[in-house]
Structure 1
């Protein structure tokens, strides 16, 4: 039973039961530990049964009885066939608890048990420790700061709170550009000049937020690429590098087209020339314009006016400066005269600026009107060119007709002959087409079937490729898990004591197997000896009966004639009766000995059930219940 109890205790610890290290047998289980073990097993087997049950034994007796009845009912719902009730948990005995725990451990899910048996890597252990710490902190009830005790102030301190502010980070190793494809200059920059990640944000408190944001962006980009490659990349039948380059080329072309469209001069906007020049520079950087020319080389009336205005302004400003210098007062003039003169100059300049703005607005309106008129004239010119081309075609046809009028009859005969020749040629071509049509149609049908077969084959191969990709991914994940498991096992193996050899355990197992074989041989020998004794007893009993019958018959014949023989017959009968009684006494003695052994086993079983201890507990619980009832009755009377 020691090995069985060890297996049970190990399984209970795996499901979360807090079994102490000093507990080595089911005999040492208390009522609290039994209730916790049963509830933990029920939660793992069937969460619907164990979720509403508490793994802690309540202090009140009535609550304990209700919890015991609920646990008994839950075990019966799972299919436990043994006798079970509240007394199984409150006044337990070793055999019943062992059988109940064996039933629950056998019903535990095998997958979870196997997963719990497998050692985890360092990362898994770290995540488990973090999860346990978070659960422990979440289990503590929250209290306002004014209601916290000193111990709770330590566990529920507010701590520093900061806003989630992330900043872009530069990381040497990224999913977008693999390490083996980075240039030498970039690697040197990463190695010699790039600051560490913790020093890149402007504030140290932004480092966690920036790392989380960067990691989330990398993951989302990897997932989007995998989804796009599985949905569109495989269908294109290109390598990932070719697919990326083609996608980059298409995106660059679209950007160039959009910028080229946006770079077209618009007469209805006053700042068109400046924006078009910027866009032209951007197009040149994208390669949309040639190196020797400009995209927007053609000027407009507004651009010429603007150039003329801004080129003339320096001359005007120079004249104004000369006039101001000539009219500058001498040192004898007062400051008030200077200020008045400055105010007059400012007013004159503002008036001039206002006039220039009015002129610019007028020029802008004229430009819009001219642009509208130019568009109208351009459209009219296009329509006139179309009508001109149509009229020229009509003139050519009429001219040819007029040339044919002087010799009309001959021309009609020639035209009729040409028409007949054309009809005959069409008929011959039609016959030739009919000859070539049938094989061409057959070839078309064959090619269509071949194309459909190739499409089916390509779709099948594409599905196989996807399955292979999934298998490769799963194999890679399994390989990583097995490698981590191997490292963990290797670490644990190195930590194990080296003085205990494998041969010791092997010898112990062999000794146990040898003892079992010896026990089986002894049992078989005892059974064979018992059978031989029973056969010998049966044969002796039969021989005795036959001997007595023959002797009785012979002595009885002589007893009629001789008195001494008659006495011998009486002694023979008495001897046979005494032997029969002796045999019966021996059989009764054997039966009594067996009953004595059965009673001794029953006494040991009853002693193992801790009947006296349970009776004492029952008396204490009975007194507690009476006290609770008296307390409740007193409260009812007071109410």
Structure 2
């Protein structure tokens, strides 16, 4: 029975990635390294966050091994193990402790996730497994430069040609929706003009990068459209084509507005007032600023033209006079004259710079004053408009004053006529208002019912989308599980039939039933014996009580009966001692059997071997401590 349990546990450990040799078929053959690796793999599957910081192998140092054992014991307690566990469980473990711990961890493994993620699906499962193992082995090694590579690194890290991740835009034929003429032209272009994808690269090194980037872009676009349609498109109650066209129109309108605002600078920028600009305007400004400044015609003032003309004339005169001076005067006079001219020009330049600063300050003050004047002008124009309106009203009132009585009578008649007309219109409006209100209420109720129906249908559509997504994921998982099981079935030996496994299972079940029947029979026999012993004991006690009473009555009269009473009491006492001795013998036999079982258990626990290992580890720790103390003294 235990052999079957051990096989199940070893199979589960292999599924989570533990490298168990083929010749290991029992828990008794587990070493400390194999036990640590199996426990770490199981904890990583049960709780990835907890098992991520655990090492699957034992370090060489004994102190480090004790720390690893303590951390593994704490991790097992964190995942819910209630048994006794410590560093000795992993370093000096026994077979029952290992079996109970592994049974707990295997029962805690998630079934669906472990089966789905244990092996890749499809007929290429073996190849994918080998590729994953090779990549995992290469990732575990640290990268070093080729000059410092060891022979182990040279095997896994080749010094081949490395290429940068450079991509190129690709043009691939996709199905498009449009008119028949456009489709025909597109098909002719793709058939006769468009080169294949492999011929669109300037170098073969960018082929894989370009294909990966285009595939990732198309996949992300499809996912974004799916998410946007489920979140916003369904709420708009439009078809996908209408939703796309409306979104495109909004985008084009926004681009046009940004271009128009960028091409026409506002009045605030003319007065030096900063304003926030959008990203598109920043891009346009950067394009505008990138033009070379020497080719741009600038409008200068009269002062700048005068200064430029003066400096140009002075430079031309200096260029014309320099050869004559060099021919007539000595070099020392020329240098002295040049220094004087340079100092004069620098003084003149500083004066011009100060004038420019003063003029710039005056321009800023003038601009501020101009803005204030414009604001005052707008306010005065608004005040003038109000005053003109009041003047018109007063003028019309003054024109009506000469014939005030007639005008008052006419106004009263107009007011009365207007009041009658208002009353008539109010009565007509009430006649028209009642059916309109009823119709409005009816239409509002219809709209509310339609909104409720549409929201209910929308929620049903969302739930259907979610159910479809969940069903698709479940179908994929089941398909992967089916392919994995099919691959495992193909890899299994064909000579082992299903009937043999069934027969073996039935035999195990029948053996379990027989054992249960024997245990039940033994328990029933024990109960019957206990009942018989209890009845005999009660009968004996009653018989002794009756006999004691009868003999005790006659013992007062006869000496021989008195001796019989003493013999009876001694016999009863000896019988009780005999029964007690038999019970003590049974108890001692049970204790002997328990001690024999404990001796067998201790023999199975390898106590002597573990003690020897503990002594060796203690000696190793003492050696490590001595070496560390020597290093500390040397330092």
**Common fold, TM-score beyond 0.5?**
yes
Task: State the partner residue of 1:590.
Answer: 586
1:616 to 612, 618, 626: 612
Report the equivalent of 1:628: 624
Residue 205 of structure 1 pairs with residue 205 of structure 2 = yes
Rounded to whole Å, the distance in 1 between the matches of 2:97 and 2:482 is: 41
SS in 2 for 1:3: helix
Residue in structure 2 matched with residue 214 of structure 1 by the alignment: 214
Distance across 2 between alignment mates of 1:561 and 1:445: 123
1:538 Cα offset (Å): 3.6
Cα displacement string for residues 414-449 of structure 1 (whole angstroms, at most 9, x for unaligned residues): x99x99999788875664344323333433343344
Decide whether aligned partners of structure 1 residues 218 and 539 sit closer, same or farther in structure 2, where only a CA change above 3 A counts. Answer: closer
Q: Deviation per CA, 1:315-344, whole angstroms, max 9, x where unpaired?
A: xxxxxxxxxxxxxxxxxxxxxxxxxxxxxx
Distance 1:576 1:431 in 2: 126
Tell me, yes or no, if the aligned pair for 1:119 and 1:485 is still in contact at 8 Å.
no
Alignment pair present for 1:85 and 2:81: no
| Preserved contact between residue 39 and residue 54 of structure 1 (Cα < 8 Å) | yes
How far apart are the structure 2 equivalents of 1:243 and 1:521?
Answer: 74
Cα displacement string for residues 428-481 of structure 1 (whole angstroms, at most 9, x for unaligned residues):
566434432333343334334433443443344334334333433443444344
The residue aligned with 1:332 is: none
The 1:50–1:214 alpha-carbon spacing in structure 2 relative to 1, beyond 3 Å, is closer
Deviations 1:284-311 (A, max 9, x none): xxxxxxxxxxxxxxxxxxxxxxxxxxxx
Q: How many residues of Structure 1 are paired with residues of Structure 2 in the alignment?
A: 479
Q: Distance in 2 between matches of 1:212 and 1:146?
A: 32
Residues 497 and 49 of structure 1: is their aligned pair in 2 closer, same or farther, counting only changes over 3 Å? closer
5+ long unaligned stretches in structure 2: 261-409
Using structure 1 for the length normalisation, give the TM-score. Answer: 0.61
Q: Is the partner of 1:19 in helix, strand or coil?
A: coil
Cα-to-partner distance string for 1:225-259 (whole Å, 9 max, x where unaligned): 435544665456454456668889x69999xx99x
* 1:604 counterpart SS class: helix
Q: Map of 1:336-355 to 2, 5 A cutoff? A: none
CA contact (8 A) 1:6 1:24 kept: yes
Mapping of 1:157-556 within 5 angstroms?
Answer: 157-172=158-173, 174=174, 176=176, 196-227=196-227, 229-230=229-230, 233-234=233-234, 237-240=237-240, 431-544=427-540, 553=550
1:142-170 residue CA offsets vs partner (Å, 9 max, x unmatched)? 22222123442342233223344444444
Aligned counterparts of 2:75 and 2:187: Cα–Cα separation in 1: 66
CA shift in 2, pair 1:45/1:499, >3 Å = closer
Compared CA separation, residues 83 and 222, structure 1 to 2 (3 A): closer
Q: How far apart, CA to CA, are the structure 2 residues paired with 1:184 and 1:491?
A: 46
Higher RCO by CA contacts (8 Å cutoff, separation 6 or greater): 2
C-alpha contact (below 8 Å) 1:43/1:50 kept by paired residues? yes
Aligned counterparts of 1:176 and 1:109: Cα–Cα separation in 2:
46
What is the deviation of 1:600? 0.8
Q: What CA distance in whole angstroms lies between the structure 1 residues aligned with 2:231 and 2:495?
A: 58
Of structures 1 and 2, the larger Rg is shown by 1
Residues 165, 210 of structure 1: 8 Å contact kept:
yes
- Provide the rounded CA distance (Å) in 2 between the counterparts of 1:35 and 1:76: 15
**Partner residue in 2 for 1:28:** 29
Aligned position for 2:59: 58
Q: Secondary structure of 1:56's match? A: coil
Q: Does the residue aligned with 2:153 lie in a helix, a strand or coil?
A: helix
**What are the superposed Cα offsets for residues 267-291 of structure 1, whole Å, 9 maximum, x if unpaired?**
xxxxxxxxxxxxxxxxxxxxxxxxx
- Partners in 2 of 1:467 and 1:562 — Cα distance? 105
- SS, match of residue 20 in structure 1: coil
Q: 1:533 to 1:50 in 2, by over 3 A?
A: same
SS at match of 2:428: helix
Deviations 1:10-58 (A, max 9, x none): 3333443333222222221212222333333444444555444433222
Give the TM-score of the pair, scaled to structure 2: 0.62
**Per the alignment, do residues 492 and 175 of structure 1 end up closer, same or farther by CA in structure 2, a change over 3 Å counting?**
farther
Cα pair 1:167 1:201 within 8 Å, conserved: yes
Is the Cα–Cα contact under 8 Å of residues 555 and 565 in structure 2 kept in the other structure? no
Where in structure 1 are there 5+ consecutive unaligned residues?
A: 262-414
1:309 matched to which residue of 2? none
**Matched residue, 2:265:** none
CA distance in structure 1 between the partners assigned to 2:425 and 2:576 by the alignment: 133
Separation in 2, partners of 1:628, 1:489: 51
Change (3 A) 1:182 1:153: farther
User: 1:612 Cα deviation (Å)?
Assistant: 1.0
- Distance between the aligned counterparts of 1:453 and 1:60, measured in 2? 77
Alpha-carbon deviation of 1:190?
6.6
The worse-fitting range, judged by mean Cα deviation, of 95-104 and 427-436 is 427-436
1:507-551 deviations in Å (ceiling 9; x for gaps): 333332222222222222222222323333344445455556666
Task: Determine the structure 2 residue equivalent to 1:9.
Answer: 10
Secondary structure of the corresponding residue to residue 496 of structure 2: coil
Q: Alignment RMSD, CA only?
A: 4.7
- 2:123–2:483 CA contact under 8 A, matched in 1: no
